[in-house]
Amino acid sequence: MKRFIRAVASLIVVVGAASASAQDTPAHITVYSGRDETQLKPVFERYTRETGIEVRLHTERRSSFAERLTTEGADTPADLLVIADVGNLWAVAERGLLRPVQSDALDRSVPSAFRDPEGRWYGLSRRERTIFYARDRVDPATASSYEALADPRWRGKLCLRTARQGYTQSLVAMLIAQHGPARAEEIVRGWVDNLAMDVFTNDTVLLEAIAAGRCDVGIANVYYYTGAVKQNPALAEQVKLLWADQGAGQGGVHVNLSGAGVVRHAKNPEGARRLLEWMVSENAQADYVDGLYERPVNPAVEPDPMTQSWGRFTPDATNGAVLGARQAEAIKLLARTGYK
């Protein structure tokens, strides 16, 4: 009888602890993001409609979430962090601000090149950064790789985005990973020598400069090109897209990411994981990239029809964590070469 009473008492303790734990888990999920609220809000509203779980979104376009999460520490309300650029994702993870997640659903939906090997972050959308050229002035065979744009034939004809932009830094990090520091520096010095004018702070303006004859070739993100052509269809006749590094032995088109990770001190880590799994599922990926013209990270989901019309290509398979680890080296290289 005593043994039975002790067993019942133990069961009551376990059930009571589980009940208390369930009560301590928030019924909502709090998301921090550097992305535009108007882009994310409809996605999370759909999740709430489907699951009944409230998603509280906090966006700050210019905020340093690494500093914010560090300052807030265990008191942070954030459960999930959604940001852009592999360098940013890597930096936040390396500061111990994201917790590793093990999920078969995430691993099935996100190719290995587009997720952290330790499961601290996962890509949500792909941002290919490739070469664009003036149709009437350039033979595309002469500009088929990032390396080719360092050739003196492009002296005074090349347009590039500023070195302060994460897109540039991640591209140079890829060059370092592929070619080694010395050769990567030679390529970047060639780019600087070939600049037609000061660097750009906006890819759309860069593409318009090619169309206007201010330069003949440049490097930009594909989603900017798609958006610009949607606004001005004539641009597609003047400026053409060229998928870089598609030859034998070449690495493929550079890919940057937007991505997300579960916050280290999340109050609702399981809820954050389930939301992240949903965001990369076939069910939600089209909504996440809707109107952005970025490419879904889930290969089972088709991109915007116009984005798809630019043709098939081989993406670079360098893992985003490698690019992040090379980011500081890339920034120093850019400074040495005078790339502003």
- Residues 134 and 125: their CA atoms lie apart, in Å, by 28
Confidence of residue 5 (pLDDT cuts 50, 70, 90): very low
- Residues 258 and 89: their CA atoms lie apart, in Å, by 8
Could you report the per-residue pLDDT of 242-253, keeping only the tens digit for each? 999 999 999 999
Residue 275 has pLDDT above 60, yes or no: yes
φ, ψ of residue 125 to 5 degrees: the values are -150, 155
Q: Can you tell me whether residue 106 is helix, strand or coil? A: helix
Could you report the per-residue pLDDT of 148-186, keeping only the tens digit for each? 999 999 999 999 999 999 999 999 999 999 999 999 999
Rounded to two decimals, the pTM is: 0.90
Could you report the per-residue pLDDT of 38-87, keeping only the tens digit for each? 999 999 999 999 999 999 999 987 667 889 999 999 999 999 999 999 99
Query: What amino acid is encoded at 45 in this protein?
Result: E
pLDDT of residue 252: 98
Q: What is the sign, positive or negative, of the torsion defined by CA atoms of 252, 103, 85, 208?
A: positive
**Mean of the per-residue pLDDT values for the chain?**
92
Beta-bridged to residue 31, according to DSSP, are 57, 80
CA dihedral 99, 102, 104, 105 (to 10 degrees): -20
Q: Which helix (H) or strand (E) element contains residue 179?
A: helix 166-179
Arithmetic mean of pLDDT, 96-117: 97
pLDDT of residue 62: 60
Residue 22 has pLDDT above 70, yes or no: no
Arithmetic mean of pLDDT, 138-147: 98
Q: Is residue 36 within 8 Å of residue 59, measured between CB atoms?
A: yes
**Of 66, 320, 317, whose CA–CA distance to 173 is shortest?**
320
Residue 7 has pLDDT above 60, yes or no: no
Confidence of residue 25 (pLDDT cuts 50, 70, 90): low
Could you report the per-residue pLDDT of 217-243, keeping only the tens digit for each? 999 999 999 999 999 999 999 999 999
pLDDT of residue 222: 98
